[in-house]
Structure 1
Amino acid sequence: MKKLWSSLVVIAAFAMFASLVTAGPFPTWDNQINRPGRFVVLSDFNNQAVLDKETGLVWEQSPSTVPRAWHVAFDCYISTIGGRKGWRVPTVEELASLIDPTQANPALPAGHPFSNVQVSDGYWSATTVAGNTSDAWDVSFIGNGLVGSAGKNASLLVWCVRGGHGYDGQ
């Protein structure tokens, strides 16, 4: 009986730990956070970056308006935005997470804090098209938002991001 009791205590403790870990303070892409609480302009980044509380990603507040080839977009890795390093080119899923199909031109959530978001060109993602390594996925905020692909030699925009799988802690 004592052995059974000890086993039940261990199982209960493990279950409590597991529920804390899975329900922890980490953002989840399964929950939609409606404006005004979704985006926070970060004063620690000289107001040049925005935390997306829905995904946990930090976006530059005002993305570049200069189109460039895909390989040049990777200048994000050496960028200093808001006095911080650790920036990168987002994946197609990360960029698409910004799209709000109920909005148009730009297809971003109402009341978003971003500036200089262009609708004339798409934004590069770091994601290469499977089966065609000369193309990469891009996201456009024209209309209600589009996900497409382009040849890597095309000139598109870039919107640097920080955090997620490419976060280097700087």
Structure 2
Amino acid sequence: MRSLYSSLIAMVAFVVFASMAAAADGHPAWDKQINNPGRFKKLGQFGNAAVFDKETGLVWEQSPDTNTRNWVSALTHCYQRLVGGRKGWRLPTIEELASLVDPNNPGGDPDLPPGHPFANVQSSFYWSATTFAVSSSNAWGVYFVDGFVGDSGKGFDGFVWCVRGGQGIDGVQ
């Protein structure tokens, strides 16, 4: 059963990431160099509590919450979040969340690019806003211990890393 899920995950990831790489309209694309030492910038206008990702155009919490939540609670947590005096936070899509994984740092703890400015990132499962197409009672997430993209039941308690900007849930801004 796990090999079926692994095959499905690989197929979905390929289609999703291939479609993102095709963006050539001047907006930040997902196909840029991942090991760019200047990729992340702490934002003073957010009281240094947020980080701008120059490759994706997204703004991430500099220090994600260390509490775990189920999926619905994770969505609510981000929508109600106030970081650096700013509202407008949301749970990232699976593509956005997976963009933080450094494939050249396998087994990193957590699996993020070297020199990243983030704090309190747990080497565990983080929720995305993307529902699993095979079962609407599951949602996608990223295991930052090894960069694995997988799904879990929405009742599971996972970590939450809120984001601003980008496309939002299912391409809706």
- TM-score bracket for this pair, using the shorter chain length: 0.7 to 0.9
Q: Distance in 2 between matches of 1:147 and 1:33?
A: 17
Does residue 114 of the first structure (1) align with residue 118 of the second (2)? Answer: yes
Instruction: Give the structure 1 partner of residue 140 of structure 2.
Output: 137
Q: Please, which runs of 5 or more residues in structure 1 have no aligned partner?
A: 1-21
Instruction: Give the structure 2 partner of residue 18 of structure 1.
Output: none
The alignment's C-alpha RMSD in Å is: 1.8
Instruction: Give the structure 2 partner of residue 80 of structure 1.
Output: 82
Instruction: Give the structure 2 partner of residue 5 of structure 1.
Output: none
Deviation by residue 1:106-162 (Cα, 9 ceiling, x = unmatched): 11000000000001x20000000002000000101103x111111000000000000
Q: Is the 8 A contact 2:34 2:102 kept in 1?
A: no
Q: Distance in 1 between matches of 2:69 and 2:78?
A: 12
Map 1:15-164 to 2 at 5 A: 24=26, 26-32=27-33, 34-74=35-75, 75-103=77-105, 104-119=108-123, 121-143=124-146, 145-164=147-166
- Greater Rg over alpha carbons, structure: 1
Q: Distance in 1 between matches of 2:69 and 2:138?
A: 14
Q: Distance in 1 between matches of 2:152 and 2:35?
A: 31
Q: CA deviation at 1:28?
A: 1.7
Q: CA deviation at 1:45?
A: 0.3
TM-score (norm 1): 0.80
Q: Distance in 2 between matches of 1:94 and 1:35?
A: 17
Q: Please, which runs of 5 or more residues in structure 2 have no aligned partner?
A: 1-23
Deviation by residue 1:38-93 (Cα, 9 ceiling, x = unmatched): 00000000000000000000000000110111000012011110110110000011
Q: Is the 8 A contact 2:88 2:164 kept in 1?
A: yes
Determine helix, strand or coil for the equivalent of 1:156: coil
* Identical positions, percent: 59
Name the amino acid aligned to 2:129: A
CA gap 1:33/1:129 in 2 versus in 1, 3 angstroms: closer
Name the amino acid aligned to 1:136: A
